[in-house]
């Protein structure tokens, strides 16, 4: 960062080079494109969803998807046992999944990154305290801890987000700590000290930008994990209220009638898998494109 700032136009040129690498990476384009499309569907759900996701009509219960015998026009993915449109519920369920993914992953990254930077840069007592805290936290089974937290705090989107943040901040802390310790030994840090930068300025102006590529990729991967955790909690009835469409809730409902209406289970399960794969592919592509070690 110190060297780049001394050369006019170096930073914009480097940013353009990074953008070109990202646009030429198939994993970034496909994974990011799928997530972007899903986000647009979630944001525009009131105008895109063909039906009210909560509207029930027992006369249209268990209608098969389009193309199968007995299908009805307008119900592209069929209906569930209560006559609710599966496609509309999938679109509205994406709102909960992506909200939890983006917010929970971002908050976990902020908390874990701050502690990781402190532990990796200041070392000694700070490193010892943070490292012991991480070891104790990771001793608890993550899924059981999340279920316990939601059961104690009560159901709701906010509670699910808090549970994910409380569990997964350690993932960011460990990675950022290791990266910070590695970056602290680099020549640019020595140069920053030589020209009079303080420890805080070096940490946040020099080291953090160089840790950011790994951090961005890790956040993307964490979003996929958050989607799975939210689906698990909604599957067991510990997420949002039962009348709110969620992918996990739809999977739980579809499991009970899978022999009579397989599409109620297959549709949310397929979309959940595709979303997690898209986040993982996006994270893998970002790691490969942004990490200078992996580009060699």
Local confidence band at 47 (pLDDT 50, 70, 90 cut-offs): very high
Least confident of 11-20, 112-121, 141-150: 11-20
From the list 61, 87, 59, 93, the residue with the least C-alpha distance to 75 is 87
Tokens encoding 36: 């972007």
Contact yes or no for 97/35 (Cβ under 8 A): no
CB atoms within 10 A of CB 295: 9
Domain assignment of residue 31, yes or no: yes
Domain assignment of residue 296, yes or no: no
The residue with greater pLDDT, 6 or 148, is: 148
Least confident of 101-110, 186-195, 220-229, 253-262: 186-195
For the CA atoms of 152, 155, 156, 159, the dihedral, rounded to the nearest 10 degrees, stands at 20
Average pLDDT score, the chain: 86
What is the pLDDT, as a whole number, of residue 9?
Answer: 52
Contact yes or no for 155/99 (Cβ under 8 A): no
What is the pLDDT, as a whole number, of residue 94?
Answer: 94
For the CA atoms of 209, 213, 216, 218, the dihedral, rounded to the nearest 10 degrees, stands at -120
For residues 245-279, one letter each, b for 16 or more C-beta atoms within 10 angstroms of the residue's C-beta and e for the rest, the string is: bbbbbbbbbbeeeeeebebbbbbbbebbeebbebb
How many angstroms separate the CA atoms of 212 and 196, rounded?
23
Domain assignment of residue 81, yes or no: yes
Domain assignment of residue 128, yes or no: yes
| CATH number of the domain within which 47 lies | 1.10.3720.10
Local confidence band at 3 (pLDDT 50, 70, 90 cut-offs): very low
CB atoms within 10 A of CB 59: 7
Residue ranges making up the domain that contains 26: 14-290
Report the number of secondary-structure helices (H) and strands (E) in the chain: 13, 0
For 65-82, how does the pLDDT look when each residue is reduced to its tens digit (9 = 90+)?
998 888 888 899 999 988
Tokens encoding 114: 């701050």
What is the pLDDT, as a whole number, of residue 274?
Answer: 96
Query: How many domains does one find in the chain?
Result: 1
Query: Is residue 294 scored above 70 in pLDDT?
Result: no
Domain assignment of residue 83, yes or no: yes
Local confidence band at 26 (pLDDT 50, 70, 90 cut-offs): confident
Percent of the chain with pLDDT over 70: 93
Domain assignment of residue 131, yes or no: yes
Query: Is residue 161 scored above 50 in pLDDT?
Result: yes
Rounded mean pLDDT, 165-174: 90
Query: Is residue 227 scored above 90 in pLDDT?
Result: yes
Rounded mean pLDDT, 85-96: 94
Query: Is residue 102 scored above 90 in pLDDT?
Result: yes
Domain assignment of residue 57, yes or no: yes
Rounded mean pLDDT, 96-114: 93
Domain assignment of residue 185, yes or no: yes
Rounded mean pLDDT, 208-237: 88
């Amino acid at each position: 960062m110190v060297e780049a700032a001394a050369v006019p136009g170096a930073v914009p040129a480097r940013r353009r080079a990074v953008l070109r690498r990202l646009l030429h990476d198939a994993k970034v384009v496909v994974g990011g494109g799928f997530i972007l499309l899903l986000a647009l569907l979630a944001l525009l759900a009131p105008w895109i969803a063909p039906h009210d996701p909560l509207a029930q009509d027992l006369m249209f219960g268990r209608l098969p998807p389009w193309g199968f015998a007995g299908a009805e026009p307008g119900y592209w993915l069929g209906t569930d046992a209560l006559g609710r449109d599966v496609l509309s519920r999938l679109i509205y369920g994406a709102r909960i999944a992506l909200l939890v993914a983006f917010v929970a992953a971002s908050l976990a990254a902020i908390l874990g990154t701050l502690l990781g930077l402190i532990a990796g840069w200041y070392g000694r007592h700070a490193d010892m305290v943070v490292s012991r805290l991480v070891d104790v936290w990771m001793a608890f089974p993550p899924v059981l801890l999340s279920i316990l937290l939601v059961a104690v705090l009560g159901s709701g989107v906010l509670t699910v987000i808090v549970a994910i943040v409380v569990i997964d901040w350690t993932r960011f802390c460990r990675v950022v700590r290791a990266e910070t310790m590695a970056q602290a030994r680099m020549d640019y840090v020595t140069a920053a000290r030589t020209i009079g930068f303080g420890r805080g300025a070096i940490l946040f102006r020099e080291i953090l930008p160089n840790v950011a590529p790994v951090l961005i990729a890790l956040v993307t991967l964490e979003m996929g994990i958050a989607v799975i955790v939210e689906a698990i909690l909604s599957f067991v009835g510990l997420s949002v209220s039962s009348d709110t469409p969620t992918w996990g809730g739809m999977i739980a409902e579809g499991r009970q009638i899978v022999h009579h209406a397989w599409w109620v289970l297959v549709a949310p399960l397929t979309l959940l898998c595709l979303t997690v794969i898209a986040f993982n592919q996006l994270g893998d592509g970002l790691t490969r494109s942004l990490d200078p070690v992996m580009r060699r």
